[in-house]
Amino acid sequence: MSHRLALFGGVYSNHLALRAVLEDVERRGAGAVWCLGDLGGFGPHPDRALEILRSSGVPALRGNYDDSIGHGRGDCACGYTDPRDNHFAQLSYDYTAARTAADHKRWMAALPEQQRLEIGGRRVLLCHGSPRRVNEFLWESACSDAFLEWLCEAHGADIVACTHTGIHWHRALPSGRHVVNVGAIGRPANDGRTEVWYAELAVNDAVSVEFHPVAYDHDELAREMEAEALPPEFVETTRTGWWTTCLENVPAPERRRGRH
């Protein structure tokens, strides 16, 4: 019997993409859906995405952004080290924190940080950044197999699913374990395409992962971002599919695939 699980993360207030992704998930008929966190940031009107997500009944994890917004912390704790990245992150965070309803904040603060599932006899661990740290960036090119094997072993998982970096990837490890970064649905994957991406995990005798691009009305989102006076750099990313900010901890191979 095949078990199919739809996994998405990095909503970043993109309510239009969230609606489109939920429709795509519904159409494909996955058995279960999880959101791996980071509901706010980057996009406009944070409450819109929160209302869609909460009314959908899709369970969600508490990403670093949700933890910060939910607990009223001073910044997003994304883990950037570059001053320009932190500058833009702070603009986005202050905008989001000021426009998120208190009820949503309480809800986010109470979300679980991780979730364990047993699917087809395999131990699946859903997390935000990594199993050991909510804001750890797991980039495909920056992780050895040896490290990912250790991470799975140390956290008792056959399959680890995470998000946080915004670029999706999947690695089948020599031991038969799997690590999946499900990508983000709030902004494009720095690939020059305006679609956003989520993952579908299928577990039967084998494990397979498929990434689905989802088109949505990105022009409308860009107009909303402009109307909210969000940074033009963010709007450009939405319109072009190329990242313009939060680039400095992107490893060379992933950055080389981008434009900036």
Partner 1 sequence: MAATPLPLVGAPSPARPEPDAGRYPAQPLHHLDALWIQVAGTLCNLACTHCFVSCGPGDLRHPLMSRGEVRDRVAEALALGVKEIYFTGGEPFMHPEMLEILADTLPRVPCAVLTNGTLFTQRRLETLRALSDASRCALEIRVSLDGYRAEDHDRFRGEGSFARTLDGLRRLSDHGLLPIVTVTQNGDEDPLAFRARYITMLREAGVARPRLKVLPMFLLGRETARTRGYLEIETLLDLPAASFDPDRLQCGGCRAVTAKGVFVCPLLVDEPGGRMGGRLDETLGPFPLAHGACYTCYVTGMTCANG
Residues within the interface to partner 1 (CB under 8 A): 79, 81-84, 87, 132, 137, 139-147, 149-151, 153-154, 247-249, 251-256, 260
Paired with 125 in beta bridges are 116, 160
**What is the smallest separation between the CB atom of 129 and partner 1, expressed in angstroms?**
12
Choice between 48 and 164, CB closer to partner 1: 164
In this structure, which amino acid lies at residue 139? W
Q: Minimum CB separation from partner 1 for residue 29, in Å? A: 32
Report, in Å, the least distance between residue 15 CB and partner 1. Answer: 31
The nearest distance, CB 4 to partner 1, in angstroms, is 27
Element (H, E) at 151: helix 145-154
Specify the residue, 213 or 258, whose C-beta has the smaller distance to partner 1.
258
Which one, 24 or 85, has the nearer CB to partner 1? Answer: 85
Minimum distance from residue 260 beta carbon to partner 1 (Å)? 7
Amino acid at 66: D
Q: Residue 71 or residue 84: which is nearer to partner 1 going by CB? A: 84
75, with CB counted inside 10 A (0-12, 13-18, 19+), is middle
133 vs 223, beta carbon nearer partner 1: 133
Beta strands in 175-216 (DSSP E): 178-181, 196-203, 207-214
Task: Compute and round to an integer the Cα radius of gyration of the chain.
Answer: 17
Comparing CB distances to partner 1, the nearer of 84 and 106 is 84
Long-range contacts of 223-229 (CB under 8 A, 24+ apart): 224/43, 224/44, 224/45, 225/43, 225/44, 227/44, 228/44, 228/45, 228/95
Please say whether the beta carbons of 40 and 70 come within 8 A.
no
Enter the DSSP assignment of 60. B
Q: How far is the CB of 244 from partner 1 (least distance, A)?
A: 12
Cβ distance to partner 1 smaller for residue 28 or 84:
84
At residue 226, φ and ψ (nearest 5 deg) are -65, -45
Q: How far is the CB of 243 from partner 1 (least distance, A)?
A: 12
CA distances from 237 to 126, 160, 191, 233, 234 (A): 28, 29, 10, 7, 5
